[in-house]
Chain A
Amino acid sequence: MYTFSNSLRTFAFILMAVGILGIGYSFFTAPTSLEEVEQILAAEHHGGHGEAGAHEAAGAEHHEAEAAHAEHADVPAVVEHSAAEAEGTHEGHDSVNAVATHAEHDTVATSHDAASPTGDAQEAGHDEHSELAHAADKAAIDAVHDAHKGHDAHAEHDAHKEHAEHVFKQLQNKPWAALYVAAIFFMLISLGVLAFYAIQNVAQAGWSPVLFRVMEGITSYLLPGSIVVFVLLVLGVLQFHHLFIWMDPAVVAEDHLIKAKSGYLNGTFTLIRAVIFFGGWILYRQYSRKQSLAQDEATDNLAYKKSFKAAAGFLAFFIVTESIMSWDWIMSVDPHWYSTLFGWYVFASFFVSGITTIALVTLYLKSKGYLEYVNTSHIHDLAKFMFGISVFWTYLWFSQFMLMWYADMPEEVVYFKMRIDNYNLPFFGMVVMNFVFPILILVNTDFKRLSWIVVMAGIVILCGHYVDFFNMIMPATVGDQWFIGAGEIGSVLFFFGLFIFVVFTALTKVPLLAKRNPLIEESKHFHY
């Protein structure tokens, strides 16, 4: 039996305590009024809005503004009207609208047609900020090739006020978004492990049964993790935070495009779906755990067979619910944007994180003298999965990115435009962390058997996939106001502490070796 060491328990509590402090600090320091935002903006912009072009990054205005100018110079012929419209949309809440300002002068021309849905998207922004649009309209007539004149529109008072309100919303979202990214990341790690566990069961893998109890321990976090995410979703529906702009009836009323989706994107239906998804996953987790323990004491293989069937059923349920979950809880923060690949892309991200977590927990337990039968071959296999699924993640990342970049259709490419402009380092940095680093280090067979290499690669992979989720959520919720500070780090520490506490408590409950699994002997003698 495993005993939860006091030092690890204390460590978990410290993480949670520090995390709560960080989270509390970020909520406490979030601006509570427009005046505060005005002061922040004044401090950041050195008094000049016209110069910074309002929407370019708060941190590095100069560079960004230059980039925007370059964009303008590249545009050979700009239709005045669409230029004005694009200006009009710049206050949009999600990352897709936020970037529409300067990027799309050439392409929005095609979408100006009122019948076109893209036109609708622009129009939605237009309606919402009609005041600004009027101002911009006047300015844009002669501001076609001249970015500066376009920016003049922002100098007008009402535009400035809109901008301040927009930043205010983003800064208010910031602590919530930090909490949400960390909560969903840790919950999905546990779900990724559950999927891996089910796959190992249905595949009748001969190497992994000695790790089943480790996996079951990790999936014990699914229940508390789901509750946290669910509560955050409920708080969103109740308007405590504004991470999902489609949960705000005022926004939906003005946004044609979101209104058209409200049959699907509405609070009640989303919460019902969440209950079904969480319910199904947790049900399988509890059931398979029960059968796994029952098999230990049984005299036949009935529990094993039940668990096999349950795993097959779960995987069928999972492939459908996982996709929908990722649309609901992640993709919909950008309700104007869509990608068919998104669900599988999210899956690859948390699946590789889950496998990495299995490897790290296994190595920890092994180093403490538990897990008698786990040898370097088991670690080698886990490391191969870390390697392979990292490549798979990159494949999906690239497929999604390249196809949108290549076709360059305005309604979808803005998603990446926004990220490359404002999240350049996290966006490309995660490709280095999630692909370049693991592929270089884990390609070597001997390396995959060395604990410290696997731990090092694992930490980089986990950090990289946190950044991946950060890149998915933050641009739409906090826009260019992002920063990895007390709230972000505090949230990660808090959930990390909670995760350790829950997982290692669960590991103490039952023996770490499944006794009568029909494949356990193969697994105990596994060598590769």
Chain B
Amino acid sequence: MSSHYEAPIRKPLIIGDKNYHDVTVDVARPVEGRANKHWWIAFTIALIAFLWGVACVSYTVGTGIGTWGSNKTVGWAWDITNFVWWVGIGHAGTLISAVLLLFRQKWRMAINRSAEAMTIFSVIQAAMFPVFHMGRPWLAYWVMPIPNQFGSLWVNFNSPLLWDVFAISTYLSVSLVFWWTGLLPDFAMLRDRAVTPFTKRVYSIVSFGWSGRAKDWQRFEEVSLVLAGLATPLVLSVHTIVSFDFATSVIPGWHTTILPPYFVAGAIFSGFAMVNTLLIIMRKVSNLEAYITVQHIELMNIVIMITGSIVGTAYITELFIAWYSGVEYEQYAFINRATGPYWWAYLLMMTCNVVSPQVMWFKKIRTSIMVSFIISIVVNIGMWFERFVIIVTSLHRDYLPSSWTMFQPTFVDAGFFIGTIGFFFVLFLLYSRSFPVIAQAEVKSIMKTSSETYKKLRDNGHDNHSHSEHNHH
């Protein structure tokens, strides 16, 4: 791959005096140790929220979808808002593991594992909404093109909702395979360090007998690259297909061609914000500050700033074209967003998504962990409102004024959403105690180019401008 030479202007990605063994120990520590009180408190809260969600979903399925606040005009509201929000969050994981791999970004090494975990857990949350927002979820299997006894009654492949089924299920399975492949060397490391027979057994099962031979590594890298090459168009297409749910319609405010790339940009935006939220906590509680450095947070903030600007450009484009189109329905849709009964949601979305990422232009702000943490949450609030605004404000007032109405969520709407947040954290908290949260094998591969220790050695031992010894390619 790339040469061992690295320009002196690049800052170290592994700070402190770390060697290969230190990486192993630091990554294995949270898995090998016992959970502390804080973890149990967090886990209990998440579990209660999850169980409350289960109760709300059971109530919905048992009683009927009318327990929600949706009505005859606004048929989609919190259900699809949450669905799109969770799918969007899931996208950063693949972006970090696949796109950043294609762009040879070494800083991805410390964050890809957790980002992928986040992807998988949030796609699981997302996948529940398409099922439970159905009036008859027990017939959900009818969306599959399975030969049957109704004269082989088939599905209609023209609906974006069906494409969603394929997109989400493919996305989940490919992400899972990609994630698990990367985990093999790390599980093998945990297997080899295990002291109890039980953990040894568990980690030897999940590591699939990884022995780390040269041939294995060679194929491992090739598989990673191919999967990254496949996952990148996949991640783009998944959120694109989600955007088609709206863009293929004829609803003013929904039917707009920019939606596919703009949804993808929004997904990266909110996904990176969620990664930032989680990693800022994780680096602290798991003592991983040497690997997830301020530079990592700064770079994620830059991605948030860039995608936030793309999203902002798309907002302005939509506004301009709505005026330019001369279509009064289109024009009204945007006037309604800005000045109608949901103006506050639109204002929140604009402030959180367009204004907040722009503060990242200042180095002081984007290298401040506290501010980054706050903004990362602000962004996710904004992105939830973006989906809410697109869905609800376009539906509640469209072509026929006699069909205009409002939307008011019920506690069941909220309960389901809270439940998915709880479920997400249940999974994520369990993951952080049983999985190697940093891809130690990958981090070790950049030790010699990018760790502080080796950089210092290089600076002291050699002349930077004639680095002949470093070029083994």
Question: Closest CB of chain B to A316's CB: distance in Å?
Answer: 7
Which residues of B have CB within 8 Å of A206?
A: 2, 6-7
A526/B9 contact (C-beta < 8 A), A341-B261, A521-B465 known: no
Q: Closest Cβ of chain B: how far from A315's Cβ, in Å?
A: 9
Chain A residues with Cβ under 8 A from B318's Cβ?
340
A456 on interface, CB distance cutoff 8 Å = no
Interface residue B325 (Cβ < 8 Å from any Cβ of A): yes
The interface residues of chain A lying within 8 Å CB-to-CB of B6 are 206, 522
Q: Is the CB of A528 within 8 A of B2?
A: yes
Contacts of B3 in A (CB 8 A): 522, 525-527
A115–B257 alpha-carbon span in the complex (Å): 25
- Cα separation A400 to B255 with both chains bound (whole Å): 11
What are the interface flags for A394-416 relative to B under an 8 Å C-beta threshold, 1 for contact and 0 otherwise?
A: 01100110111011010100000
Q: In the complex the two chains form, is A404's CB within 8 Å of B471's CB?
A: no
Asked if A117 and B328 sit within 8 Å, CB to CB, the answer is: yes
Task: Assess whether A118 is interfacial by the CB under 8 Å rule.
Answer: yes
Contact of A527 with B324 at beta-carbon distance under 8 Å, contacts A301-B9, A399-B240, A522-B5 already known: no
Asked if B7 and A343 sit within 8 Å, CB to CB, the answer is no
Q: Is B249 an interface residue (CB 8 A)?
A: yes
User: B2 and A526: CB pair below 8 A?
Assistant: yes
A338 touches B313 (CB 8 A): no
Is there contact, CB below 8 Å, between A396 and B321?
no
Minimum CB–CB distance for B94 against chain A, Å: 16
Residues of A within 8 A of B250 (CB): 407, 409
CB of B326 within 8 A of CB of A407, answer: no
Chain A residues within 8 Å of chain B by Cβ, number: 45
Interface residue tally for chain B (C-beta within 8 Å): 44
User: Is A31 among interface residues, defined by CB-CB distance under 8 A?
Assistant: no
Collect the chain A residues with CB atoms within 8 Å of residue B336's CB. Answer: none
Contact residues in A for B258 (Cβ distance below 8 Å): 340-341, 344
Enumerate chain A residues within 8 angstroms of B237, measured Cβ to Cβ.
395
List the A residue with the shortest CB-CB distance to B329. A117
Contact A340 B326 (CB under 8 A): no
How many angstroms between the C-alpha atoms of A116 and B332 in the bound complex? 13
| Residue pair B327, A341 in contact (C-beta under 8 Å) | no
A323, A342, A399, A521: the one within 8 Å of B260 (CB): A399
Bound Cα distance from A407 to B248, whole angstroms = 6
Considering the complex, which residues of chain B in the window 196-251 have a beta carbon less than 8 Å from any beta carbon of chain A? 233, 236-237, 240, 244, 247-250
Residue of A nearest to B465 (CB): A521
B317 interface residue, CB < 8 Å from A? Answer: yes
Quote the shortest CB–CB distance from B380 to chain A (angstroms).
23
Contact between chains at A344 and B261 (CB < 8 Å): yes
**B236 nearest CB neighbor, chain A only:** A395
Alpha-carbon distance A341/B5, docked complex (angstroms): 42
CA–CA, A316 to B302, complex, Å? 13
Query: For A120, what are the chain B residues with a Cβ–Cβ distance below 8 Å?
Result: 326
Report the tally of A-B residue pairs with Cβ distances under 8 A.
109
In the complex the two chains form, what is the Cα distance from A323 to B318 in whole Å? 12
Roughly how many angstroms separate A267 CA and B325 CA in the complex, as a whole number?
19
Q: In the complex, A339→B237 CA distance in Å?
A: 20
Chain A residues near B240: list those with CB within 8 A. 395, 399
A396 neighbours in B (Cβ, 8 Å): 260-261
Which residues of chain B from 1 to 17 have any CB-CB distance to chain A below 8 Å in the complex?
1-3, 5-10
Q: Chain A 100-124, CB within 8 Å of chain B: the 1/0 string?
A: 0000000000000001111011000
Question: Helix, strand, loop or mixed for chain A's interface?
Answer: helix
**Which residues from chain B contact A264 at a C-beta distance below 8 Å?**
324
A521, B327: Cβ atoms under 8 Å? no
Q: How far is the CA of A132 from the CA of B310 in the complex (A)?
A: 47
Tell me which residues from 466 to 487 in chain A have a Cβ below 8 Å from any Cβ of chain B: none
Q: How far is the CA of A116 from the CA of B399 in the complex (A)?
A: 11
- Contact present for A525 and B5 (CB under 8 Å): yes
CB distance from A333 to the nearest CB of B (A): 14
**Which residues, 378 to 410 on B, are CB-close (under 8 Å) to A?**
none
Tell me, in angstroms, the Cα distance from A127 to B240 when the chains sit together. Answer: 41
* Residues of chain B within 8 A of A340, CB atoms compared: 256-259, 314, 317-318, 321
Q: Does A43 contact B (CB under 8 A)?
A: no
Is A78 in contact with chain B by the CB < 8 A criterion?
A: no
Q: How far is the CA of A406 from the CA of B255 in the complex (A)?
A: 10
User: Which residues of chain A are within 8 angstroms of B317 by Cβ–Cβ distance?
Assistant: 323, 340, 343
Q: How far is the CA of A344 from the CA of B311 in the complex (A)?
A: 12
Which residue of the partner chain, among A117, A316, A404, contacts B325 with CB atoms under 8 Å? Answer: A117
Name the residue of chain B whose CB is nearest to the CB of A312.
B361
CB distance A118 to B327 under 8 Å? yes
Q: Is the CB of A323 within 8 A of B313?
A: yes
Tell me whether A327 is interfacial, beta carbon within 8 Å. yes
Q: Give the docked Cα–Cα distance between A521 and B464 (Å).
A: 10
CB neighbours (8 Å) of B321 from chain A are 338-340
Q: Are B257 and A400 in contact (CB under 8 A)?
A: yes
Cβ of B176 to closest chain A Cβ, rounded Å: 24
Q: Once bound together, how far apart are the Cα atoms of A469 and B1, in whole Å?
A: 38
Instruction: Enumerate B418-473 residues with CB–CB distance to A below 8 Å.
Output: 465, 467, 471, 473
Complex CA distance for A343 and B309, rounded to whole angstroms: 15
Residues of A within 8 A of B310 (CB): 319
Cβ-defined contact, B244 with A403, below 8 A: yes
Which residues of A are found within 8 Å of B7, using beta-carbon distances? 206, 518-519, 521-522
B-side contacts of A526, CB under 8 Å:
2-3
Query: Which residues from A are CB-within-8-Å of B471?
Result: 525
For A289-313 the 0/1 string (1 means CB < 8 A from B) is: 0000000000001000000000000
Asked if A489 is at the interface (CB within 8 A of a chain B CB), the reply is no
Q: Chain A residues near B465 (CB, 8 Å)?
A: 521
Q: Does A371 touch B at the CB level, under 8 Å?
A: no
State whether the Cβ of A391 lies closer than 8 Å to any Cβ in chain B.
yes
Residue picked from B244, B259, B321, most chain A C-beta under 10 Å: B321
- Contact of A527 (CB < 8 Å), options: B2, B236, B259, B313: B2
User: In the complex, are the beta carbons of B309 and A316 less than 8 A apart?
Assistant: yes
Q: Is the CB of A518 within 8 A of B248?
A: no
CA distance A411 to B8 in the complex (A): 57
Tell me which residues across on chain B come within 8 A of A400, comparing CB atoms.
257
Minimum C-beta distance from B334 to chain A (A): 12
Whether A399 and B236, one on each chain, are in contact in the complex, defined by CB atoms closer than 8 angstroms, is no
Query: Closest CB of chain B to A525's CB: distance in Å?
Result: 5
Q: How far is the CA of A458 from the CA of B250 in the complex (A)?
A: 39
A301 CB contacts on chain B under 8 angstroms: 9
* A399-B261 in contact (CB<8A): yes
Question: Interface code A230-272, partner B: CB below 8 Å = 1, 0 otherwise?
Answer: 0000000000000000000000000001001100100000000
The yes or no answer to A14 lying at the interface (CB within 8 A) is no
Let me know if A260 and B326 touch, CB within 8 A.
Answer: yes
CB-defined interface of A113-156 with B at 8 Å, one 1/0 digit per residue? Answer: 00111101100000000000000000000000000000000000
Task: With CB as the reference atom, state the residue of chain B lying closest to A116.
Answer: B328
- Complex alpha-carbon distance, A407 and B256, angstroms: 10
Chain A 485-528, CB within 8 Å of chain B: the 1/0 string? 00000000000000000000000000000000011011001111
Judge if A320 is at the interface, Cβ distance under 8 Å. Answer: yes
Give bound CA distance, A327 to B248, whole Å. 22
Q: Which residues on the B side are within 8 Å of A403 (C-beta)?
A: 244, 247-248, 255, 257, 259-260
Q: Is the CB of B326 within 8 A of A117?
A: yes
Contact yes or no, A117 B5, CB < 8 A:
no
Return 16 A-B CB contacts under 8 Å, by A number.
A120-B326, A206-B2, A206-B6, A319-B310, A319-B313, A323-B317, A338-B321, A338-B325, A340-B259, A340-B314, A344-B258, A403-B260, A409-B255, A521-B465, A525-B5, A526-B3
Question: Which residues does A use to contact B, with CB under 8 Å?
Answer: 115-118, 120-121, 204, 206, 257, 260-261, 264, 301, 316, 319-320, 323, 327, 338-344, 391, 395-396, 399-400, 402-404, 406-407, 409, 411, 518-519, 521-522, 525-528
Could you list 11 further interchain pairs (A-B, Cβ under 8 angstroms) beyond the known A411-B325, A526-B3? A319-B310, A320-B313, A339-B257, A340-B257, A340-B318, A399-B240, A402-B248, A411-B327, A525-B473, A526-B2, A528-B1
B-side residues, CB < 8 A to A, are 1-3, 5-10, 233, 236-237, 240, 244, 247-250, 255-261, 309-310, 313-314, 316-318, 320-321, 324-329, 465, 467, 471, 473
**A-B interface, 3 closest residue pairs, ranked by CB to CB distance from nearest:** A340-B258, A341-B257, A399-B260
